[in-house]
Amino acid sequence: MILFSLYLHVPFCVSKCGYCSFYSQPFDDASAEAWLGGVSCEVSHLSAIWGEKIPLRTIYIGGGTPSALPISAWKRLLHILKSAFDFFETVEFTVEANPCSLTGEHLSLWRNFSVTRVSLGVQSLNDGELAWLGRRHDSKTALAALEKIRASGFDVSADLIFGLPSQTLASWKNSINSILAADAGHISIYQLTLEPGTPLSYSSPPLPDGYPFYRFAQWYLERKGLKQYEIASFAREASKECRHNLAYWHQENVLAIGPSAWGYLDGFRYRNARALEEYSALAEKGLLIAEAERLEASERGLEAAILALRTTHGINAAYFAARFGEKLAKDVFDTLKNIPQHLVSFENEKISLTPSGMRVGNAIWTELMKLNEN
């Protein structure tokens, strides 16, 4: 049986955080109606192409802020999804939430619809850092939300940001410790980057070197029982790893629904229309794709290598050669063998980055990308 992963983008936020470059807009009833109509059209079209309910392995509803949707909109959305997708083989169903908009009603509805995992956008548990980021919650609200999620029986994931102007290793450690004390089984850490056009980018604040924060997290989280399985993610055990994200890193098929959502199908990468108005209009006509590219075999193989190296699972040498050919495999492996030995591990058939290699992953991937220039 072919199983897909599904990413669904909820394009609504209560307010825009100063660092955020993802597509979102304020929630209102008319916009929600247009979005749900577009989602319904897109889902119906996909179902008609498949000819029956589409089997899903993982589902990830992100944004934006999915918890900004009222319960009435959530009920309609879940009904739309249930009409077209088969959840029988689904092993993970994640919903993103923000502490200030998450309610007990959300958690109850999600639990009844077999959501298994809630990913909470904590970002920091230092109130000064939260205020600078433009977050609407404080540390107390975030910790209360984590407790509600855990008490409701979900797998708990929390996001944290490092590299803030006023951040210290002490405040970073305190945020991590508070997340651990809340019994989160999964933590993702991201370095603050200010993309052009984001509100904070206009003030161009000096940002500290993120390296010490990342290195500390690697060392400390391992010491506390969370193993790094991906460049930015740590899990208490294998069952707590985000399987949806691993679908991307393993280059599996991911369907995309909603404005600005990206999908991937057997070397075909596509994006839906970015803005809600355009997305809704196109979806009504059955025109789902605004941008697409077909990866050549060598591009697909090179991308597969880079994505695999984001994870501790790494590259299986024999499988890679069988899938993408001996020549590309040799080029990739020769490039990696020229990387300093303390950065790359060669263990039997597995090639992966060491913890030190994860810290300079961008530089290693840049070396691999040069193969495209030959």
Q: Looking at residue 337, what is its pLDDT?
A: 96
The whole-chain average pLDDT of the chain stands at: 94
pLDDT at 348 over 90: no
List helix spans (H) across the chain.
29-50, 71-84, 104-112, 127-133, 139-151, 169-181, 211-223, 243-249, 276-284, 297-308, 317-324, 326-337, 355-359, 361-369
pLDDT in tens, 259-281: 999 999 999 999 999 899 999 88
In this prediction, what percent of the chain has a pLDDT beyond 70? Answer: 99
**Token pair in block for residue 190:** 């991201």
Residue with token string 């075909």: 268
**Position 209, amino acid:** D
Q: Looking at residue 1, what is its pLDDT?
A: 72
Domains of the chain: 4-248 (3.20.20.70), 296-374 (1.10.10.920)
Q: Looking at residue 197, what is its pLDDT?
A: 82
Q: Are 363 and 346 in contact (CB under 8 A)?
A: no
Q: Are 54 and 46 in contact (CB under 8 A)?
A: yes
C-alpha 144/C-alpha 155 separation (Å) is: 16
Q: Looking at residue 288, what is its pLDDT?
A: 73
Q: Looking at residue 334, what is its pLDDT?
A: 96
pLDDT in tens, 82-111: 999 999 999 999 999 999 999 999 999 999
Q: Looking at residue 374, what is its pLDDT?
A: 62
pLDDT at 359 over 90: yes
pLDDT in tens, 305-341: 999 999 999 999 999 999 999 999 999 999 999 999 9
**pTM of structure:** 0.95
Residue 163 preceded by cis peptide, ω within 30: no
